[in-house]
Amino acid sequence: MEDLDQLVAQARANFAQSATPADLEDAKAVFLGKSGRLTALMKGLGSLSADEKKTHGAAINLAKQAVEEALQLRRQALADAELERQLRSEAIDVSLPGRQHSPGGLHPVSMTLERIEAIFGSMGFEVADGPEIETDWFNFTALNTPADHPARSMHDTFYVEGGHLLRTHTSPMQIRHAVQHVKRHRANIDAGRGMPEIRVIAPGRTYRVDSDATHSPMFHQCEGLWIGENVSFKDLKVVFTDFCRSFFESGDLVLRFRPSFFPFTEPSAEIDIQFASGPLAGRWLEVAGSGQVHPNVVRNMGLDPERYIGFAFGMGPDRLTMLRYGVNDLRLFFDGDIRFLAQFR
């Protein structure tokens, strides 16, 4: 009969060499399988005498128990190793930094627009929005700028299909807004009862064929319009002075109305501001065009220029933003460089 101790030792060695559960099952079959070595020994007992059966059978059983025990230990060891490997591969390093949520912020020009809206809002101006793709009528003709007018050459723009163009200023909103307002009050106006004053600002994007450090083909403007029966240039001066002083938080800022020309206002003025202190102190800085709305424009609003009068202005929010934050190149606003924009968060 086979040496049982040697058989058990061999089983232990084979099990120890099995690196995977599948290998281990193969090794088990060699000893405990249907045609395994221990099974064969058991089968061999049949040819022995009753006494021999007893002693040999007991010895084989002991060997079988030892092999089964070794198998069980190896199974457990392999399962433990597998679990360990899995845990390691799925390990979470709780000491790693978490995902960063960097807070966004408004674009500096948007902050200026919100500021403009808040300040004019406090003075009773509503805010209107209008199309960036305009008709020739609203952008030019209705604003007293007929097709052959030389002022058009300063407003070269991008023309799109169907005779439309990208608006060169926000002034078309003077007409668009006034026409709507007048329509709502037509009956009262015709009956001589008048209408509530028009007091509106219209911020938005505008376009011109122009590009350098202080001009961008797309830029922003904010139109202002105040029409009533008794609105004068004096009111324009008060409103715009108040606006500039609040906007720049500078009570001693002064304004200069420099005579100028726009086809849609008469008289017209460029508005310059001067700071009393700070890096820009003592310099005149142009911030807006303005003037008393031309009678032809008042007529195109659907109103009688003998009765209705007022003023309009158009300012450059990009310019105001540059002045407020000391930015020297307009293009920085539109490059989308996060290092620049993050400074305004």
The C-alpha atoms of residue 253 and residue 283 are separated, in whole angstroms, by 11
Binds ligand PHE by CB under 6 A, chosen from 314, 318, 319, 322:
314
Query: β-pairing, 159-160 with 164-166?
Result: antiparallel
Interface region with ligand PHE, contact rule CB under 6 A, candidates 118-126, 183-191, 275-283, 284-292: 284-292
Interface region with ligand PHE, contact rule CB under 6 A, candidates 33-41, 104-112, 274-282, 309-317: 309-317
Neighbouring C-beta atoms of residue 85, cutoff 10 Å: 10
Binds ligand PHE by CB under 6 A, chosen from 312, 320, 323, 330:
312
- Which residue is closest to ligand PHE by CB? 314
Edge-first strand listing for the sheet containing 265-274: 126-127, 198-207, 218-228, 309-315, 285-293, 265-274, 254-262
Please list, in sequence order, all residues whose beta carbon lies within 8 angstroms of the beta carbon of residue 20, skipping any fewer than 6 positions away: 78
Closer Cβ to ligand PHE, 108 or 289, answer by number: 289
Asked whether position 219 contacts ligand PHE by CB under 6 A, the answer is no
Q: Report in angstroms how near the CB of residue 207 gets to ligand PHE at its nearest.
A: 11
Q: Whose CA is closest to 261, among 187, 103, 154?
A: 154
Q: Report in angstroms how near the CB of residue 174 gets to ligand PHE at its nearest.
A: 7
Q: What single string gives the DSSP state of each residue in 45-110? A: GGGS-HHHHHHHHHHHHHHHHHHHHHHHHHHHHHHHHHHHHHHHHT---TTSPPPP-------HHH
Identify the three-state secondary structure at position 214. Answer: coil
How many helices (H) and strands (E) the chain has is answered by 13, 10
Closer Cβ to ligand PHE, 119 or 312, answer by number: 312
Place of tokens 């025990």: 69
Place of tokens 């539109």: 334
**341, burial (CB in 10 Å: exposed 0-12, middle 13-18, buried 19+):** middle
Closer Cβ to ligand PHE, 7 or 109, answer by number: 109
Asked whether position 317 contacts ligand PHE by CB under 6 A, the answer is no
Give me the phi and psi of 221, to 5 degrees please.
Answer: -135, 160
Binds ligand PHE by CB under 6 A, chosen from 313, 319, 330, 333:
313
Contacts with ligand PHE by CB under 6 A: the residue count is 11
Q: Report in angstroms how near the CB of residue 257 gets to ligand PHE at its nearest.
A: 12
Closer Cβ to ligand PHE, 23 or 126, answer by number: 126
Please list, in sequence order, all residues whose beta carbon lies within 8 angstroms of the beta carbon of residue 129, skipping any fewer than 6 positions away: 202, 204
Asked whether position 246 contacts ligand PHE by CB under 6 A, the answer is no
Which sign does the torsion angle of CA 132, 176, 109, 216 carry?
Answer: positive
Interface region with ligand PHE, contact rule CB under 6 A, candidates 66-74, 262-270, 299-307, 324-332: 262-270
Asked whether position 290 contacts ligand PHE by CB under 6 A, the answer is yes
Interface region with ligand PHE, contact rule CB under 6 A, candidates 10-18, 59-67, 197-205, 307-315: 307-315
Closer Cβ to ligand PHE, 108 or 291, answer by number: 291
Binds ligand PHE by CB under 6 A, chosen from 204, 291, 310, 317:
291
- Residues between 118 and 177 with contacts to ligand PHE, criterion CB under 6 A: 169, 171
Q: Report in angstroms how near the CB of residue 215 gets to ligand PHE at its nearest.
A: 12
Closer Cβ to ligand PHE, 314 or 317, answer by number: 314
Number of residues that make up the chain:
345
Binds ligand PHE by CB under 6 A, chosen from 15, 262, 275, 308:
262
Closer Cβ to ligand PHE, 78 or 297, answer by number: 297
The C-alpha atoms of residue 235 and residue 245 are separated, in whole angstroms, by 15
Asked whether position 292 contacts ligand PHE by CB under 6 A, the answer is no
Binding site for ligand PHE (CB under 6 A): 169, 171, 262, 265, 268, 289-291, 312-314
